[in-house]
Amino acid sequence: MTSFVSVDNVEKSFPLAGGKEYLALKGVDLQIKKGEYISLIGHSGCGKSTLLNMIAGLDLPTGGIVTLDGIVVKQPGPDRMVVFQNYSLLPWLTVRDNVDLAVSEVLSEKPAKERKEIVEHYINIVGLSSSIDKFPLEISGGMRQRVAIARALAIQPKLLLLDEPFGVLDALTRGNLQEQLTRICEDNQVSTLMVTHDVDEAVLMSDRVVMMTNGPGSKIGGILEVDIPRPRKRLEAVKHPSYYQLRSEIIYFLNQQKRVKKMNARKVAVVPGHGLEKINLEIGFVPLTACAPIAVAQEKGFFKKHGLDEVSLVRESSWRGIVDGMIGGYIDAAQMPSGMPLWITLGGSGNIGTTVVSSLTMTRNGNAITFDERFQGQVKTLADFKRLLDQTPDTQHRFGVVHPSSMHNLLLRYWLASAGIDPDRDVQLKTIPPAQMVVDLKADTIDGFCVGDPWNLRAEIEKVGYTIATDVDIWPGHPGKVLGVREDWARAYPNTHIALVKALLEACQYCSDPKNAAEIRTILTQRDYVGTNIDYIHLGGAGDTIPGVSSVAHHLFYGENVNRPSRTEHLWQMAQMARWGDVPFPRNWVEVLETICRVSVFSTAARELGLTELSYSKGSLKLFDGSVFNADDPISYLNTLGIKRDITMAEVPLTAPRVAA
């Protein structure tokens, strides 16, 4: 289907006092198909109404063009009708006369009788036949808005433009009118562009939701396809599997834009001190038991001890927030899944050119594979699950993972593939925020998940799931969470980088002492960190067991073969991500590993702390299926794998933009 409305590289600026200009929109590209319903959503000041006005012809772009049916839009016209939030009815005219005024002006060539029939038809469509001879002040706000919509539809425009048409209505009226308008647009194949601030309204009514970034220089930050079938009823739409996922995507985008706006407003300067280039840091993390070193470094004063006087912890609900914060430069450092520095560097996020380095492994282990409790009687082992899949080939099984780069995803995929189960074709893997896993399991939208604690433990305690395998069963001692910083940041602040590693390494050491376990569990229950019941939080040290629970994930925070970053482990992760088509396997993989794995920073930090015993044993990796990963020839290893996607290879650039001061 060809584009009906085309917005090509549109820019809009407004003159300010003193000869200055305000750039409202920059580089906006949008195509609207015939009969398509599009919503524009974003924070105030992001240019939604400005874009709508240019499509309407009420304003002109200062750059780029807008076309409707192949004709450049230069002025308003009856082929586009705008419905504003404030009704815009003439109070001295009746409902009939308000609609007739527009019809008589635009459709003047039609006979009076036909125009009268058109007016009555569209007033009837919006359900106002009984109020056709009433004046605007005699009807409710919702009814007035329906008159405005009837007037817009009656002139039979090619495009309907709605500027927050339901914003001032009560919830019941708004809901009814939303469903009516959606049905009218479907029945009459009217193309529609709507400006809204309401997330649920956007998901319910749209074919696509266009999300706008903050101004100045706003642009399209993302477009979501709404795959909920039409016709839609609100109570039915909210039960569709995609509804809350789409809603969450929009809310996430809006929250990120709010955060960017807040950080830009602060304009925090780099503050040096203690011989460090920067002592004011923002460090991101996701609420998991594995965030213990970051929480302890803050609560026990390890950051301040090493000269980092102004550390703010940024609690993200998902790893996607960490990725966006790292690429955008909104955070200085972050707790990351161990594969994330590689994933970002190799372009997994679609942003090739941002190199992320790691100089500390903060945790090992801590993950598990949990199945829904309903499988308890028939699936005890991986072999059992393979038999179940073979016996029920038409049943789709869905499993949650937290991020493509996480060991949860890589371990689950490896575990499944070892039994001949293709993780992309025989089952479906969904990316879900960690804290959402148990909720989705209870709602039967997934059949299981691979995630870090406390969520496996919580599923067992609440009797909604059971652990079928822990990471100790698959790869004991695997890297879990690492410290990640941008490569340009590491170059700009080398002494700060070492100080940060020292603070977190001491925190890891503190977390490894069983005498501190009770205190750490209490810290993690705080709302600023994991914010959950203490019964769900266990560090998994020696002797840490829970009655009625099959296993407790065994976190390793500190010790030999624990904290030093390993190029061999990173290479295995690189091979697995390439195996599943998430990233290309880099031809310059040796260079990539040497850049990402900052062993020298770790060694300096450990030496300055007097922790010289933290050695690391080099060698091949052995997993539960008996396979051996040899770091000398990763390409031959990839070629031996039976289940894999088409593997691509490419030279990966390792340049990075300069970090903002």
Which tens digit of pLDDT belongs to each residue from 504-543?
999 999 999 989 989 999 999 998 998 888 888 888 765 5
Domain 3-79+157-259 is of which CATH architecture?
Answer: 3-Layer(aba) Sandwich (3.40)
With CA atoms as reference, report the closest residue to 346 among 653, 637, 557, 660.
653
Provide the strand spans (E) within 261-406: 280-285, 310-315, 333-337, 356-364, 367-372, 398-401
Which tens digit of pLDDT belongs to each residue from 144-200?
888 888 888 888 888 888 888 877 667 777 777 788 778 878 877 888 999 998 899
Confidence at residue 30, expressed as pLDDT on a 0 to 100 scale = 93
User: Which range has the worst mean pLDDT, 161-175, 209-223, 242-256, 568-582?
Assistant: 161-175
Q: What is the mean pLDDT of residues 648-653?
A: 88
Q: What is the mean pLDDT of residues 125-131?
A: 85
**CATH 3.40.50.300 domain position(s) in the chain:** 3-79+157-259
Confidence at residue 105, expressed as pLDDT on a 0 to 100 scale = 87
Residue 659 pLDDT more than 50? no
CA quadruple 497, 503, 507, 508: dihedral, nearest 10: 40
Q: What is the mean pLDDT of residues 236-251?
A: 84
Percent of the chain scored above 90 by pLDDT? 47
User: Which range has the worst mean pLDDT, 31-40, 89-98, 244-253, 418-427?
Assistant: 244-253
When pLDDT is cut at 50, 70 and 90, the band that residue 548 belongs to is: low
The helix/strand/coil state of 409 is helix
For residue 532, the Cα-to-chain-centroid distance in whole angstroms is 23
Distant-in-sequence, close-in-space partners of 142: CB < 8 Å, separation ≥ 6: 169, 170, 173, 174, 176, 177
Host H or E run for residue 497: helix 494-511
With CA atoms as reference, report the closest residue to 634 among 581, 597, 586, 595.
586
Q: Which two tokens stand for residue 519?
A: 């205190």
End-to-end CA distance of the chain: 47
Residue 657 pLDDT more than 50? no
When pLDDT is cut at 50, 70 and 90, the band that residue 569 belongs to is: very high
**CATH 3.40.190.10 domain position(s) in the chain:** 271-661
Q: Which CATH superfamily does the domain covering 271-661 fall into?
A: Periplasmic binding protein-like II (3.40.190.10)
* Category of 635 on φ-ψ map: left (φ > 0), alpha (ψ -120 to 50) or beta: alpha
User: Which range has the worst mean pLDDT, 127-131, 179-183, 203-207?
Assistant: 179-183
Confidence at residue 180, expressed as pLDDT on a 0 to 100 scale = 77
pTM to 2 decimal places: 0.74
- Better pLDDT: 593 or 265: 593
Residue 656 pLDDT more than 60? no
Residue 661 pLDDT more than 50? no
- Better pLDDT: 171 or 36: 36
Which tens digit of pLDDT belongs to each residue from 598-621?
999 999 999 999 987 666 666 678
Confidence at residue 362, expressed as pLDDT on a 0 to 100 scale = 96
When pLDDT is cut at 50, 70 and 90, the band that residue 580 belongs to is: very high
Q: What is the mean pLDDT of residues 568-579?
A: 94
Whole-angstrom distance, CA of residue 357 vs CA of residue 355: 7
The residue type found at 181 is L
With CA atoms as reference, report the closest residue to 565 among 321, 336, 283.
336
Token look-up 């903002």 returns 660
Q: Which two tokens stand for residue 520?
A: 């750490």
Confidence at residue 660, expressed as pLDDT on a 0 to 100 scale = 42
When pLDDT is cut at 50, 70 and 90, the band that residue 545 belongs to is: low
The residue type found at 333 is A
Q: What is the mean pLDDT of residues 314-338?
A: 89
For all residues of the chain together, what is the average pLDDT?
Answer: 87
Confidence at residue 153, expressed as pLDDT on a 0 to 100 scale = 82
Please calculate the CA angle 9-13-14 and round it to the nearest 5 degrees: 160
User: Which range has the worst mean pLDDT, 61-65, 221-225, 626-630, 631-635?
Assistant: 626-630
Concatenate the DSSP letters of all residues of 30-90 into one string: EEEETT-EEEEE-STTSSHHHHHHHHHTSS--SEEEEEETTEE--S--TTEEEE-TT----
Q: Is the peptide bond before 547 cis (omega within 30 degrees of 0)?
A: no
Q: What is the mean pLDDT of residues 629-639?
A: 87
- Better pLDDT: 237 or 305: 305
Confidence at residue 296, expressed as pLDDT on a 0 to 100 scale = 97
Q: What is the mean pLDDT of residues 73-98?
A: 86
User: Which range has the worst mean pLDDT, 81-95, 273-287, 424-438?
Assistant: 81-95
